[in-house]
Structure 1
Amino acid sequence: MVALALELARTGNTSELVEFLDHRLPVDTQGDDGQSLLMLAAYHGHMATVRALIERGADLDLLNARDQSPLAGALFKGEDEVARALIEAGASLDTGTPTAREAARMFGRAHLLL
């Protein structure tokens, strides 16, 4: 069940993922590599899925096994809309390695942090 939920987040299948969450799958479920549902949705630019996870209380700063945050992942991938949504929801700019601030500078996205 966890593997399927992670794949639903990765592919942006929001409606099916929400069904899992509504049937008690923890919103902060992570795979063996520490990738959370929110990280996968953010990294792959699935805005509707990101919003659904935020609405259900996903930990915005939950780090994966490589110490990366969903916000830094979105910045790395150039997912500006997702990054803005995470920032507006209260994601930390200073969590993880690299931090979102560092990732924004490295990948030319510092304007999103203003």
Structure 2
Amino acid sequence: MTEPNTPDELSDEDIAFLHSIFDLAREGNTEKLMLLVDQGIPGDLTDPKGNTLMILAAYNGHDDIVSGLIERKTDLNRLNDKGQGALTCAVFRKNEPLVRQLLSKGADPHLGSQNALAVAKMFELPELAAVIEEYL
């Protein structure tokens, strides 16, 4: 039985709004995104490919968004449908400060089918593999 006054499907406006939230993470609009999360949008919201706001922000190099999401207790080990997490994205994009930040907050470099350590080795990034090793 469904709740009264609960729609069975999202409206086109709802879907557009949700897409705009992911765009904020991609584009680096920290202030607006953190305001929405503080107002109740889940920090672990995922797109149809399983990408979280943190994964999108990490991939696009928005360290400040990642920091804000960590402060708000967002799951930094959440994986997308390809088995990639925020740490994997930071390694792939060669963002050492973000790699260090995620590791220092508890990101697991072995997590996922495309985990951070494997990506560092696959793309011949010995400096980032060494950073990861520091935290093991």
TM range (shorter): over 0.9
Q: Which runs of 5+ in 1 are unaligned?
A: none
Whether 1:67 and 2:86 are equivalent positions in the alignment is: no
In the aligned structure 1, how far is the partner of 2:131 from the partner of 2:25? Answer: 24
Instruction: State the identity %.
Output: 36
Q: Secondary structure of the equivalent of 1:90?
A: coil
Q: CA RMSD in A?
A: 1.0
Select which of 35, 53, 58 maps to 2:74. 58
Stretches of 4+ moved more than 6 A in 1? none
Deviation at 1:77, TM superposition (A): 1.1
Find the counterpart in structure 2 of residue 103 from structure 1: 119
Find the counterpart in structure 2 of residue 33 from structure 1: 49
Task: Return the index of the structure with the highest Cα Rg.
Answer: 2
The answer to whether the Cα contact below 8 Å between 1:2 and 1:29 also exists between their aligned partners in 2 is no
Find the counterpart in structure 2 of residue 18 from structure 1: 34
Find the counterpart in structure 1 of residue 131 from structure 2: 112
Find the counterpart in structure 2 of residue 94 from structure 1: 110
Q: Deviations over 1:55-83 (max 9, x none)?
A: 00111111111111110111011111111
Q: Secondary structure of the equivalent of 1:83?
A: helix
Matched to 1:110, the amino acid is: A
TM-score scaled by length of structure 2 = 0.80
How many residue pairs get aligned? The number is 114
Matched to 1:112, the amino acid is: V
Matched to 2:49, the amino acid is: D
TM-score scaled by length of structure 1 = 0.95
Matched to 1:36, the amino acid is: T
The answer to whether the Cα contact below 8 Å between 2:24 and 2:30 also exists between their aligned partners in 1 is yes
Q: Deviations over 1:25-79 (max 9, x none)?
A: 0010010111100000001111111100110011111111111111011101111
Matched to 1:85, the amino acid is: Q
Deviation at 1:112, TM superposition (A): 1.5
